[in-house]
Chain A
Amino acid sequence: MSSALSQGVPLSAYLLLSAVLFALGVVGFLIKRNLITVFLSIELMLNAVNLSFVTFACQWHAVKGQIFVFFVMMVAAAEAAVGLAIIIAVYRARATLSVDRIDLMKL
Chain B
Amino acid sequence: MTLLEFILWSIVKVAVVTVLLLVAVAYTVLLERKLVGRIQNRWGPSRVGPFGLLQPLVDGAKSFLKEDLIPTGVYKPLYLLAPIIALSSALISIGVIPFGAPGFGPKGFDLFQVSNVNIGLLVILGVTSIGVYGVALAGWSSNNKYSLLGSLRSSAQLISYELALGLSLVGVVLLAGSFNLRAIVEQQATHGIASWNIFGGFQFLAFFIYLMAAFAETNRSPFDLPEAESELTGGYHTEYSSMKFAMFFMAEYANMINVGCVATLLFFGGWTSPFGSHFDHFQNNFLNAVLPLFWFAFKVFLFLCLYVWVRGTLPRFRYDQLMNFGWRVLLPLAILNIVGTSLWLAYR
Binding site for B on A (CB under 8 A): 1-2, 4-5
Contacts and interface: CB of A to CB of B under 8 A. Distances in A.
A5 B7 CA distance: 11
Contacts of A2: 3
A4 B2 CA distance: 10
B1 interface: yes
A89 to B, nearest CB: 19
Contacts of A5: 3
Point out which of A1, A4, A5 has the most chain B C-beta atoms below 10 A from its C-beta.
A1
B129 to A, nearest CB: 13
Contacts of A1: 1-3, 6
A1 B5 CA distance: 10
A5 B3 CA distance: 7
Interface residues of B, number: 4
Nearest to B1: A1
Interface of B: 1-3, 6
A63 to B, nearest CB: 16
Contacts of B6: 1
A44 to B, nearest CB: 18
Nearest to B5: A1
A12 B6 CA distance: 29
Nearest to A5: B3
A94 to B, nearest CB: 23
Nearest to A3: B3
Nearest to B2: A1
A4 B1 CA distance: 13
Contacts of A4: 3
A1 B6 CA distance: 10
Contacts of B3: 1-2, 4-5
A1 B4 CA distance: 9
B163 to A, nearest CB: 12
A2 B3 CA distance: 8
Contacts of B2: 1
A5 B6 CA distance: 11
B133 to A, nearest CB: 15
7 contacts: A1-B1, A1-B2, A1-B3, A1-B6, A2-B3, A4-B3, A5-B3
A1 B2 CA distance: 5
B9 to A, nearest CB: 13
Nearest to A4: B3
B327 to A, nearest CB: 15
A7 to B, nearest CB: 11
A5 B1 CA distance: 11
B221 to A, nearest CB: 31
B8 to A, nearest CB: 13
